[in-house]
Structure 1
Amino acid sequence: MMDIAIYSLVDDMVSKAGTEGVVEYWLRVGESYAERMGKEAYVGWPAFNVAMKEGRTSLTVEGEVNVLTDLAIIDKDGDVIGYVYALKTCPMAPTMRRYISRIGPIPDSDTDVADSYNNRIRDSAVSNYCITHQKFREVAANNITVAKQALECLQLANKGMTGDVKMVPENLARINVDERHIKSILRSASCVFALIVKGKSAGEEIIE
């Protein structure tokens, strides 16, 4: 019943507040959820990555996250300023599958809300639920420090139920990772993001 209810809720919200209103609502939900998780501090990247692997950080509440240690992000001085991470399965994927198998196609309101977000804010949502998840990670990352340095989350790419992929070129450029590498990661993941020291960017060499 909850699978039906959650999509009925989105339909009802769109009819009352419009797609832009639903986008703003999901953004508030993501922000509020992240703020409730509290602050975290780690002595360095190894400690933080262990916490990610073991599911001990707020950024793993969505599900299992693969720490891609081969994709360390290096700044122009040769210092590690972050890593790339892959969420194995979208937390909404089981709900979507059950809805499709029991009810039918996902309602158009899902795409309508995602399109509103993509057109007005950032072209990175393959579902309306991406809005909350991406906002959650952005705010949660701001509440985490590694070696006393604040973090920020960069959405890199995600993959929808039908295989459609969204890339964020400006974020890939900031960490100097080739999109072909990210596409290969998406073969076994739903969402790929980077966590880096706030305000930092990678050096000039592109990781392929």
Structure 2
Amino acid sequence: MIDVALASLIEDMIEKAGAEGVVEFWQRVGDNLAGRMGKEAYLGWTSFNVAVRESRTAFSIEGEVTPLTDMAITDIDGDVVGYLYAMRQCCYVPTIFRTRFAVGRMSPADQAVTNEYNENVHNIAVCNFCVFHERFREEIAKNVTIAGNPLACLLLATRGWSGETKISSKNVVQVNINEDHVRALLRNYECVYALVLRGARIKGER
């Protein structure tokens, strides 16, 4: 019932505020939720990654997140300044499937919001919930410190329920990760992002 109501809500919102208005709404939701999560501080990447695995960070509110510790991001001095993180399943996917089962299809409003975001903000969304996800992570990262340094979050790749994939070339370049490697991760994960020390001079960054 809640899933059907959510689909109806999005339809109603897009009728009243348009796709641009819904994008702004989801971004405000991301801002507000991140602001309520509080601050986190870790001595180093090891303690942070343990917290991620044990679902003890604000990032875990979305679902199970896997630190890809074999894909470290280094700075120009060779020091580790970040890692890739991945979600096997987006927490919105079960809602999508339940909605399709209940009402037969997803609302066209979902695609309208997705298109608006991709065309005018960041070409990475595979559903309207990606708008909230990206903003939420970006704001959460500002409240998490590793050895006193705040983080920055870069959404790299997404895979939707229909199999559609998106790669953010601009973000992949920023963390100096091979785009083919990121694309390969989408065989097993639906969402891949990087967490790096804010302001780090990443090796090979262009």
Pairwise TM-score range, normalised by the shorter structure: over 0.9
Counterparts in 2 of 1:48-67, with a 5 A limit? 48-67=48-67
Match status 1:40 vs 2:20: no
1:6-55 CA deviation, whole Å, 9 max, x = no partner? Answer: 01000000000111011000000011001100000000000000000100
Distance 1:57 1:134 in 2: 16
Task: Tell whether the 8 Å contact from 1:63 to 1:87 is kept in structure 2 after alignment.
Answer: yes
Task: Tell whether the 8 Å contact from 1:174 to 1:201 is kept in structure 2 after alignment.
Answer: no
Aligned to 1:137: 137
For 1:196, the aligned partner's letter is V
Runs of 4+ aligned structure 1 residues displaced above 6 Å come to none
Match status 1:75 vs 2:78: no
| Offset of residue 204 of structure 1 | 2.1
Match status 1:171 vs 2:140: no
- Number of residues of Structure 1 aligned to a counterpart in Structure 2: 206
| Offset of residue 141 of structure 1 | 0.5
For 1:117, the aligned partner's letter is Y
Could you say what secondary structure the match of 1:89 adopts?
A: coil
TM-score (norm 2): 0.97
TM-score (norm 1): 0.96
Aligned to 1:113: 113
Match status 1:24 vs 2:24: yes
Match status 1:85 vs 2:85: yes
Match status 1:152 vs 2:161: no
For 1:105, the aligned partner's letter is R
Distance 1:181 1:108 in 2: 32
| Offset of residue 77 of structure 1 | 0.4
Gaps of 5+ in 2: none
| Offset of residue 138 of structure 1 | 0.4
For 1:176, the aligned partner's letter is N
Gaps of 5+ in 1: none
Task: Tell whether the 8 Å contact from 2:174 to 2:205 is kept in structure 1 after alignment.
Answer: no
Task: Tell whether the 8 Å contact from 1:52 to 1:59 is kept in structure 2 after alignment.
Answer: yes
Distance 1:110 1:202 in 2: 36
Distance 1:154 1:130 in 2: 13
